[in-house]
Amino acid sequence: MKRIIYSEIDGNSKPFYALAALLGAFVLAALASAFYMEHYGHYVTGMNNQVVWGMPHVFAFFLIIASSGALNVASIGTVFGKKIYKPLGRLSGLLAIALLLGGLTILVLDLGRPDRLIVAMLNYNFKSIFAWNIFLYVGFIAVIALYVWLQMERRMNRFARLAGTLAFFWRLVLTTGTGSILGFLVAREAYDSAIMAPLFIAMSFSFGLAAYLLVLMAICRGTGRELGDTVILRMGRLLGVFVGSVLYLTAIQHLANIYAAQHAGVERFILLDGGIFTSLFWIGQVFIGGLLPLLLVYRTPKQNLQRGVAIASALVIAGGFAQLYVLIVGGQSYPLNLFPGMEVSSSFFDGAVATYAPSLPEVGLGLGGVALAGLIILVGIKVLRFLPTTLANAAIDPHHEVTTGRP
Amino acid sequence: MSRKTDNTQTQESPDFDPQRRSFLGAMATAAGLTLAPGVILYSITKSQPTEARELYAAVSSDVRWGMLIDLGRCESGCDDCVSACAKENGLRGHGRPTTDAQWIRKVDIKDPQTGNSKSLPMLCQHCENPPCVDVCPTGASFKRADGIVLVDKHTCIGCRYCMMACPYKARSFVHEVLEDQKSFAPRGKGTVESCTLCVHRIDSDRLPACVEACSDTGGGAMLFGDLNNPDSEISKRVAKYASQQIRADLGLKPGIRYRNL
Amino acid sequence: MTPRRNTFVMIAVVLVCMTSLAIVASAAEKPQSSGSGRVPMPVISPGQGDSCVEDTDFMRRNHMLVLKHQRDQTMHEGIRSKKYSLKECVTCHAVPGPDSRPVTTSSPQHFCRSCHDYAAVSIDCFQCHASRPDPDVLPSGHAPSSTSPDGPVAEGIE
């Protein structure tokens, strides 16, 4: 394997600036949405006293979960020593930071009192998993920054493995924490489950790798860098494994709930008669986000490999959004069961399935978070050397000579 | 420092080290600046007259406030408790039932197997192990020593996680700008709120507004008192008559008990 | 130009800009109390009674610390002492408005707003707290005065 050379992108072409302007426009729209929500109060959104977390949180959770998984690519190279992944490590770190910052921005801007961020940073209730998560997220940014620096500074490369291991375990704790935000809620039948944490870990692997693949392929296509089939094939197969694990854990999650009689109600709601949630679950999460990508990564013919993996990644992301919508909004829409076996009604919508319709400011805020992540990546690859000059098979595949016999 | 790493002694060190002196001076100034606000605050509290401390003593856990609600006396059409709470705390509807605040509500339950129907007031249960307190990231949701669960709106950032965690859906989020609040019931946009058990009334030895209204014009179903005091009316009644807590299986030990549920 | 010369030129430009800004700023008129300057001095209406709970100098510097300490005591420990209670401040410092009720923070004549507008320090107390006393409240009279009664406040308000 030859020595890898990294370079910035030129970043002064019309399409580059057009993309930056487009992303900037979305970010501005998000800021406008946040200002609108903060000025008039949350009644202008679709969130209410029954469904307190909505579209912004679906986006934010996705970005945070994907951020954790995006760093996986670097971990496979540094921690697990797979040489073919080593050139991909720097971009992996940048993507992780970008996605995390995008997600956190959405969360902060959606707060009822975003001006009290300093209060949140200085007053901690350590019984709260949410408080722990704030620590973990902020610390994660520092850990990734350290990890990327150690990879970029060639004289410090020998310490990269240490930082990579730290980042790997930090990720696991962080994603467990994110899953526990929902998993520790004893009150809600849809959430109260220990499987939330491993499910979120599997989701992070899956969404993170899908996001990484799409970003990598887009950048290589946009800057004319060669992208070999070997690394895409490897990552595509890995994506298949992760998608399979998400499907498996989802199945366990629902099966276990069905067997526990007290949770049968919410399972019936999600799986059978929840309307939009049922459709999103079966069609969005299971079919589009699970079965179709599996088919694509294992059955795409060799000549269409990259296109097949790209489509599979996009489908995984779409399925991921559907999964989070069902989880977050669907879980809240199902009424709390205070009087088992009774028919309940009140002026505060007891016993009734809550209605929620996403509003424009919420979607604007969510999309702005994604756009912010994109902008950070764009600026990062222009300013610093995150990208290898080539990812051709000959350049990075350590077994290239052996399998093909060609230098 | 005037010493160098090699062995040559360049000059005699002076009698005092100017850098060290200025460093100590800077540290002393910094320490003084750090301590000054604390000293001021300390002297403020000390300057309060002694009578004020005895008159206004801190609440203690010797007391545990609770309520006993007799559903045999609670009528289905009556919502005096709800109107009294709204009037007392300045809760105004904005014509948006999904986002308007409700601190207490009447819930109608019907047993589909027998046709038997009941009505009960549902409010913050002021649990002994409140899940809302556990999950609040800033500690704004807290339990006072005498058992009342409150939201410290100075610290609340409006994340609504406590609303997700409450099994009774007792909390509301303020979705709009508020004006003309009552001086004893501050509430504002972007913070979470819930029944305070009329803590402003309790602290001056009065009853919560809902209890007062129920006994004045309602069915007389609500009884308020100190659950820790064996001689209080409520302690005697819960010892004598069977009463239940809603969702007792969660182990939260609510302070609100229901009779004839 | 050499890089060294570039650096000097840059430093010189920055210094010239800052000096000219300072000259312009100091040459601006001092604020007048009648509002003829750029920012009018606050018209602070006197509160009721002879004096505040502490002397003016102390209050100017420390009222925020006092309020912050008091709020924690009231919320967490239920101590509702009158001396530093925000409600008492609002009651004593109420400024009468056109409709025979005191003004709220929507009016620049509100006691807190008059100073805070001038100092450009935004406060969020009155997003939650009432900025004028309830209709039937009289101040508790911590200092003897001819206009406010001594003794406990009106029944029903605490």
Contact A319, A206 (CB under 8 A): no
Q: Most C CBs within 10 Å: which of B43, B56, B204, as the mutation test of the C interface?
A: B56
Tens of pLDDT along B89-142? Answer: 999 999 999 999 999 999 999 999 999 999 999 999 999 999 999 999 999 999
Q: What is the pLDDT along chain C (158 residues), one digit of tens a residue?
A: 688 898 999 999 999 999 999 888 877 655 544 445 577 777 777 777 778 888 889 998 999 999 999 999 999 999 988 888 899 899 888 888 888 889 999 988 899 998 898 899 999 999 999 999 988 766 665 443 333 333 333 333 33
| Residues 6 or more apart whose Cβ sits within 8 Å of residue A78 | A86, A89, A147, A151, A160, A161, A163, A164
Give per-residue pLDDT as tens, A238-274: 999 999 999 999 999 999 888 877 788 899 999 999 8
Q: Would C25 be classed as within a structural domain? A: no
Please tell me whether residues B110 and B187 are part of one structural domain: yes
pLDDT for res B27: 74
Are A180 and A129 in contact by the 8 Å Cβ rule? The answer is yes
| Chain B residues within an 8 Å CB radius of A40 | 176-177
Q: How far is B16 from chain C (nearest CA, A)?
A: 37
pLDDT tens, C40-55?
777 777 777 778 888 8
The yes or no reply on domain A6-334+352-404 and CATH 3.30.420.40 is no
Q: Which position has the higher pLDDT, B7 or B231?
A: B231
CA-angle at A261, arms to A256 and A267, nearest 5°: 60
> Using 50, 70 and 90 to split pLDDT, how confident is the model at A91?
very high
pLDDT in tens, B60-75: 899 999 999 999 999 9
CB contact under 8 A, B181 and C65: no
Written as one letter, the residue type at A261 is A
d(CA A201, CA A242): 10
Subunit contact B183:C129, Cβ cutoff 8 A: yes
Cβ-defined contact of A123 to B105 (cutoff 8 Å):
no
Judgement on whether residues B239 and B122 belong to the same structural domain of the protein = yes
- C-alpha to C-alpha distances, A216 to A6, A147, A165, A386, nearest whole angstrom: 14, 19, 23, 11
> Do B95 and B36 fall within a single domain?
no
- Judge whether C103 lies within some domain: yes
C-alpha distances in angstroms, A213 versus A70, A91, A244, A337, A368? Answer: 9, 11, 17, 43, 21
Distance CA B174, CA B101 (A): 7
Secondary structure tally for chain A: helices H, strands E? 17, 3
Decide which of A33 and B1 is more confident.
Answer: A33
Q: What is the mean pLDDT of residues B204-226?
A: 93
Average pLDDT, integer, range B228-244: 95
Confidence band of B54 (pLDDT split at 50, 70, 90): very low
What is the pLDDT, as a whole number, of residue A45?
95
Sign of CA dihedral C98, C103, C108, C110: positive
Amino acid of residue A12: N
How does DSSP classify residue C98? T
CB atoms under 10 Å from CB of B261, counted, come to 17
**Number of structural domains chain B divides into:** 2
Out of B33, B57, B81, a domain closes at: B57
Closest C-alpha to A183, from A241, A122, A133, A120? A133
* DSSP-H helix ranges across B79-197: 80-89, 131-135, 161-165
CB A143 within 8 Å of CB A163? yes
- B109 and B33 in one domain? no
Per-residue confidence (pLDDT) for residue B35, from 0 to 100: 62
Residue A290 Cα to chain centre, angstroms:
15
Give the closest of A116, A184, A338 to B157, CB-based: A116
Query: Which residue, B10, B34, B57, sits at the end of a domain?
Result: B57
Q: Is the dihedral of CA B186, B188, B190, B194 positive or negative?
A: positive
B8 and B31 together in one domain? yes
CA-based nearest residue in chain B for residue C81: B56
CB of A346 less than 8 A from some CB of B? yes
Q: Is the CB of A188 less than 8 angstroms away from the CB of B164?
A: yes
Q: Which tens digits make up the pLDDT trace of A293-323?
A: 999 999 999 889 999 999 999 999 999 999 9
Q: Which residue range is the domain that position B211 belongs to?
A: 65-259
Query: B87: distance to nearest CA of chain C, Å?
Result: 13
Which chain C positions have a beta carbon within 8 Å of B181's beta carbon?
Answer: 128-130
pLDDT digits (tens, 9 = 90+) for A337-373: 999 889 999 999 999 999 999 999 999 999 999 999 9
Residues B119 and B225 placed together within one structural domain of the fold:
yes
Please indicate, yes or no, whether residues B176 and B194 belong to a single structural domain of this protein: yes
Chains meeting C at 3+ CB pairs closer than 8 A?
Answer: B
Nearest chain C residue to B57 by CA distance is: C79
Domain presence at residue C6: no
Which partners does chain A have (≥3 C-beta pairs < 8 Å)?
Answer: B
In a shared domain, residues B41 and B136? no
Q: B93 and B13 in one domain? A: no
Across the interface, whether the CB atoms of B101 and A49 are under 8 A apart is answered yes
Domain ranges of chain A: 6-334+352-404
Backbone angles phi, psi at A227, to 5 degrees: -125, 110
Q: Domain residues for C58?
A: 47-158
- Residues of chain B positioned with their CB less than 8 A from the CB of C134: 182-183
Return the residue of B nearest to C91 by Cα: B183
**One domain, residues B93 and B42:** no
Is A124's CB within 8 Å of B139's CB? yes
B184 with C87: Cβ contact below 8 A = yes
Name chain A contacts of B105, Cβ cutoff 8 Å. Answer: 346-348, 350
Q: How many angstroms separate the CA of residue C120 from the nearest CA in chain B? A: 21
Q: Do A184 and B135 touch (CB under 8 A)?
A: yes
Could you tell me the pLDDT band of residue B45, with boundaries at 50, 70 and 90?
very low
Determine the Cα–Cα distance for residues A269 and A279; give it in Å rounded to an integer: 11
B neighbour chains, 3+ CB pairs within 8 Å: A, C
Point out the domain boundary residue: B17, B33, B57: B57
Query: What is the least distance, in Å, from the CA of A137 to any CA of chain B?
Result: 14
Of B105, B109, B159, the CB nearest to A339: B109
pLDDT average, residue stretch B176-184: 92
| Binary contact (A125, B138; C-beta < 8 A) | yes
Look at residue A310 in the predicted model and tell me its pLDDT: 96
Helix (H, G, I), strand (E, B) or coil at B259: strand
On whether the CB atoms of residues C142 and C88 are closer than 8 A, the answer is yes
SS3 B104: strand
pLDDT of residue B46: 44
Q: Chain A residues with CB inside 8 Å of B120's CB?
A: none
Count of the separate structural domains present in chain C: 1
